[in-house]
Amino acid sequence: MAHETATQRRKRRTRYKLKKNAPGKLRMSVYRSNMNMAVQIIDDAQGKTLVSATTLEKALRKELKSNGRSMAAAELIGKTIGERAKKAGIADVMFDRGSYRFTGRLKVLADAARAAGLKF
């Protein structure tokens, strides 16, 4: 891949390791911007998103006192994705952090998802 940025390389490297170590397993992918967060549980075999949660949803916006980039927002998204996954019958996923480091909001989100019943 010509002219690939460092961010794209980190993302590709992370996904490669996940797919190599756990082929066929559902993937919990996280997107984090400066203002919001989104998380999806994806079935790569079918190419479908099974469950998702984002800080842009009206129902979750009402629960947030601050904006979508706070630690509280990350915790709420983690708890929400865990509950929705449990309702859909999903218990075991692999955590795809993309090009982001596993600190701060990502760690809070992951801990909340684990507390809600997801295993990864």
Within 10 Å of residue 14's Cβ, how many Cβ atoms?
A: 16
Residue 1 pLDDT level (bands cut at 50, 70, 90) = low
DSSP string, 39-101: EEEEETTTTEEEEEEETTSHHHHHH-SS-TTSHHHHHHHHHHHHHHHHHTT--B-EEE-TTS-
Render pLDDT for 60-106 as a digit per residue (tens, 0 to 9). Answer: 988 887 788 899 999 999 999 999 999 999 999 999 999 999 999 99
What whole-number distance in Å separates Cα of residue 38 and Cα of residue 22? 23
Cβ 49 vs Cβ 88: under 8 Å: no
Within 10 Å of residue 49's Cβ, how many Cβ atoms?
A: 11
Note the pTM of the prediction, 2 decimals. Answer: 0.88
C-alpha distance from residue 47 to each of 16, 24, 34, 42, 93 (Å): 16, 11, 27, 7, 15
Domain annotation for the chain: domains and CATH numbers: 6-115 (3.30.420.100)
pLDDT at 30 over 90: yes
